[in-house]
Chains A and B, each alone.
Chain A
């Protein structure tokens, strides 16, 4: 049988088996779950070669699946992060309710994302897209908190996006008579202008929702923070990348082909920039780690969107590189939050503090991911940001680069808040019982954070697949052109490049760190965090000295005018207004039988009066 279909069947069968295995044995269920994520992922990389395809005919539509380099690139995110999160999830979810639902939806999400990457026609793309949507929706409401507000909001926005996409799909079908993406790409340059504008707009709306772009991002914080953290790392890390995946395809294969595309690119790039700023500002304000990371995801996706929308070779590389890096570090960070939540039961910065000595490995993973997120060399985030700035400047987006840079600088604020809130600060007696998370949770985090380090030091490892992917989309070989424009991108050994510099840096780094640490440990004495210089006052054991309320109060005093306006409120008012309108409209049904009879007679009379015009 075809390996593509095999993978789908394995996923689906695994999901169903896992769901029901919970009735028999929890351990068996966990093992089945791991198997049904890892085995298809393994098959994907061993059995599937580039260009391998499968078809399935249904309802007169041929569903077409095939693997190309671009999909392969994103499969690294989906399956790699998915596998790690799966290992993490088994330990994270131990002892929770409704395990079957969790595992089922987890596997379905991974399957649908793999399906999206393999889809070569719009219908199967849409089907997998929707499966992804509802499986992630079910995860969003898994905890049972705020299902009516957060869950519905997520689903409504997803549905708006998906339906916009569906509208574009039927538009394409009515023009080309085919659902194949290939046909769309071929027919697109010759379409009439209206269609040339509407189809990308609708498709981009669909993708922008998943990628949490600015006016459509309001679902993200709630949904990300409400899902179980083991899933959120996939949700934010991989699932949002599907929006990026679609956007890249739309930009590269459609919008870049028409002269009017410049407007799309500018508008979306600016929206990405604004998304980054807004996401960052709101992330700084959050006191809950999940919310903070959720807003941070929005902001990071803003960078990615900007990079992709700019659309120069370097910008695309930057966007996609950042996408992979974001999957890595945000996946890790959500896992960190999950570990903290598992061990302490809360994720609020104002409650938890001083876990560093209790959860050192978790802290290590968090530290590396935060460094990557902040874009500090030598971790991977820097390379992406560097390329982004370079591309913004070379493509004459001078103000945009300021905007992006501002949000990137402000990102340090929440980066620090995250590390400080959980791991640093006073070690309170309340959390003295906390222990390091189980090994099955720590190992994926550490592996991912080491990966970040590797990719930051040798970005060429990742850049050549990205380049292959872009070529698969019909882009020129950007990789080769970039030899001249920059040197940071090279792989091993070519040119005089960043690597020696990085080695230098690492050498200095290690020298100082090792020297000072060794020297320090010999001569310094550990004291508890209660022993601080507090004007001679002796803090009591149960006295909470940690500074965590109103953490960035001065900053918010400075940016207060920006924060006053909230898109969320606008949507809320819109929704409430609509519901009030509907409430008014249903008063048509008065409940009085006679009124209904009068409606009938009125209908007849009106029809008789105007029937000649209406029915002719």
Chain B
């Protein structure tokens, strides 16, 4: 019983960590963007203020039950994937529900959230939301291919579908997978660009075209939940990449350094590019990233 209690406490702690880190990263993103654009930019904690403001909105409207469930779904999805991804190696404070085959589980649970949000967006009846959702789902078919190729390459190279096993591999061999499976890493990072949906892949939100797309009818608390879930999710993705390719982290500092370095990739890339059309984005992912994914698989098959 006690262990369950500890687990739950640990889960709450993990969630809080993810929330805080994700929010700060979001703020840092805005800050970096501003600095690159030669602005002062908002403070790094601006996202907390925004979140608080959104949470303190007095009134809210909904178009139906799915609009309630949509944010809930994406939150659940984020938290579930957070529970599966090991935050730190061998740390009892951050428990995880790791099991054999959790990579595949993760692949599916990570798309559950967007799908749930899409349902919420659909319920609002705003055409912009639906268009955004179709773009998002289409984009997903794009970046999932190199992403899965990278994962499959790892799986077949190390004969496991477990994240913890992959981390153990790195700990035992002393090399990060990003160096021993470079192609997989490249493919995965390229897929990550799409996962974060920053420019040039910000086709879902697309403020100027779609009025922020799926979330266009969500204000106040709904937007708050979505924002928090997005922050948690960003943390989950970064941590997963760190776990898979950069040997995990022993303590929080290393974790933050590694995740931030990784996070810089989509952030900086987004600053240099402008938005693609959806079909171009999809084809982009089926081009070079998939090629690297294929190389990764070939490497895994022939150079074990």
Q: Interface of A with B (CB < 8 Å)?
A: 354, 356-357, 360, 367, 371, 374-377, 382, 385-386, 389-390, 393, 396, 398-399, 401-402, 405-406, 409-410, 412-413, 415-416, 419-420, 424-427, 486-488, 498, 500-501, 504-505, 508-509, 512-513, 516-517, 519-521, 523-535, 545-547, 551-555, 557-559
Query: What is the count of residue pairs linking A and B with beta-carbon distances less than 8 angstroms?
Result: 226
Closest residue of chain B to A381 (Cβ to Cβ) is B108
**Do B68 and A517 have beta carbons less than 8 Å apart?**
yes
Contacts of A396 in B (CB 8 A): 156
Q: Min CB distance, A48 to chain B, in Å?
A: 37
Q: Min CB distance, A215 to chain B, in Å?
A: 24
**Do A426 and B125 have beta carbons less than 8 Å apart?**
yes
B197 at the interface (CB under 8 A from A): no
**Do A532 and B61 have beta carbons less than 8 Å apart?**
no
Given A398-B297, A524-B61, is A504 in contact with B109 using a C-beta cutoff of 8 Å?
A: no
**Do A512 and B72 have beta carbons less than 8 Å apart?**
yes
Q: Min CB distance, A367 to chain B, in Å?
A: 8
**Do B83 and A504 have beta carbons less than 8 Å apart?**
yes
Contacts of A551 in B (CB 8 A): 134
Contacts of B222 in A (CB 8 A): 520
Closest residue of chain A to B126 (Cβ to Cβ) is A532
As a 0/1 sequence over residues 7 to 34 of chain B, the CB contacts with chain A under 8 angstroms (1 = contact) are: 0000000000000000000000000000
Contacts of B211 in A (CB 8 A): 533, 535
Q: Interface of B with A (CB < 8 Å)?
A: 59-66, 68-69, 71-72, 75-76, 79-80, 83, 97, 99-101, 104-105, 107-109, 111-112, 115, 118-119, 122-127, 130-131, 133-135, 137-138, 140-142, 144-145, 148-149, 152, 155-156, 161, 211, 216-217, 221-222, 225, 277-279, 282-283, 286, 293, 297, 300-301
**Do A406 and B141 have beta carbons less than 8 Å apart?**
yes
Query: Can you report 25 A-B residue pairs in the complex whose CB atoms are below 8 A from each other?
Result: A374-B108, A374-B111, A376-B108, A376-B111, A402-B149, A406-B141, A409-B140, A409-B141, A409-B145, A412-B141, A413-B141, A420-B118, A424-B119, A487-B101, A488-B100, A504-B97, A508-B79, A516-B71, A520-B221, A525-B61, A526-B63, A546-B127, A547-B130, A554-B279, A555-B138
> Taking chain A's interface residues, is the majority helix, strand, or loop, or is none over half, making it mixed?
helix
**Do A409 and B71 have beta carbons less than 8 Å apart?**
no
A409 to B286, CA, bound (A): 14
The 8 A-B pairs of least Cβ separation, nearest first, read A529-B125, A424-B122, A554-B278, A557-B279, A555-B138, A558-B282, A547-B127, A558-B279
Given A410-B141, A501-B99, is A554 in contact with B134 using a C-beta cutoff of 8 Å?
A: yes
**Do A524 and B79 have beta carbons less than 8 Å apart?**
no
Given A486-B101, A552-B134, is A517 in contact with B69 using a C-beta cutoff of 8 Å?
A: yes
Selected from A390, A413, A528, the residue in CB contact (under 8 A) with B104 is A390
Contacts of A546 in B (CB 8 A): 125, 127, 130
Contacts of A416 in B (CB 8 A): 115, 118-119, 122, 133-134, 137
**Do B105 and A533 have beta carbons less than 8 Å apart?**
no
Closest residue of chain B to A389 (Cβ to Cβ) is B104
Closest residue of chain A to B98 (Cβ to Cβ) is A501
Q: Min CB distance, A446 to chain B, in Å?
A: 16
Selected from B101, B126, B133, the residue in CB contact (under 8 A) with A390 is B101
Q: Min CB distance, A154 to chain B, in Å?
A: 31
**Do B148 and A402 have beta carbons less than 8 Å apart?**
yes
**Do A354 and B125 have beta carbons less than 8 Å apart?**
yes
Given A374-B115, A409-B111, A419-B119, is A532 in contact with B283 using a C-beta cutoff of 8 Å?
A: no
Q: Min CB distance, A521 to chain B, in Å?
A: 7
Closest residue of chain A to B145 (Cβ to Cβ) is A406
A218 to B104, CA, bound (A): 32
Given A516-B71, A517-B68, is A508 in contact with B80 using a C-beta cutoff of 8 Å?
A: yes
Given A415-B115, A425-B130, A524-B61, is A398 in contact with B156 using a C-beta cutoff of 8 Å?
A: yes
Contacts of B301 in A (CB 8 A): 398
Q: Min CB distance, A428 to chain B, in Å?
A: 10
Contacts of A500 in B (CB 8 A): 97
**Do A520 and B62 have beta carbons less than 8 Å apart?**
yes
Q: Min CB distance, A366 to chain B, in Å?
A: 11
Contacts of A547 in B (CB 8 A): 127, 130-131
**Do B108 and A375 have beta carbons less than 8 Å apart?**
yes
Selected from A376, A405, A516, A552, the residue in CB contact (under 8 A) with B72 is A516
Given A401-B152, A405-B144, A508-B76, is A498 in contact with B138 using a C-beta cutoff of 8 Å?
A: no
Given A376-B115, A405-B144, A413-B141, is A528 in contact with B63 using a C-beta cutoff of 8 Å?
A: yes
A370 to B20, CA, bound (A): 34
**Do B62 and A525 have beta carbons less than 8 Å apart?**
yes
Contacts of A357 in B (CB 8 A): 64
Closest residue of chain B to A505 (Cβ to Cβ) is B80
Given A377-B105, A402-B148, A532-B125, is A523 in contact with B138 using a C-beta cutoff of 8 Å?
A: no
Closest residue of chain A to B57 (Cβ to Cβ) is A523
Contacts of A527 in B (CB 8 A): 61-63
A65 to B214, CA, bound (A): 57
Q: Min CB distance, B46 to chain A, in Å?
A: 24
Assuming A406-B148, A555-B282, what are 4 further A-B pairs, CB within 8 angstroms? A516-B72, A521-B68, A529-B64, A552-B134
Given A545-B127, A558-B283, is A356 in contact with B278 using a C-beta cutoff of 8 Å?
A: no
Given A513-B72, A555-B278, is A524 in contact with B64 using a C-beta cutoff of 8 Å?
A: no
A487 to B98, CA, bound (A): 11
Contacts of A487 in B (CB 8 A): 99-101
Closest residue of chain A to B286 (Cβ to Cβ) is A558
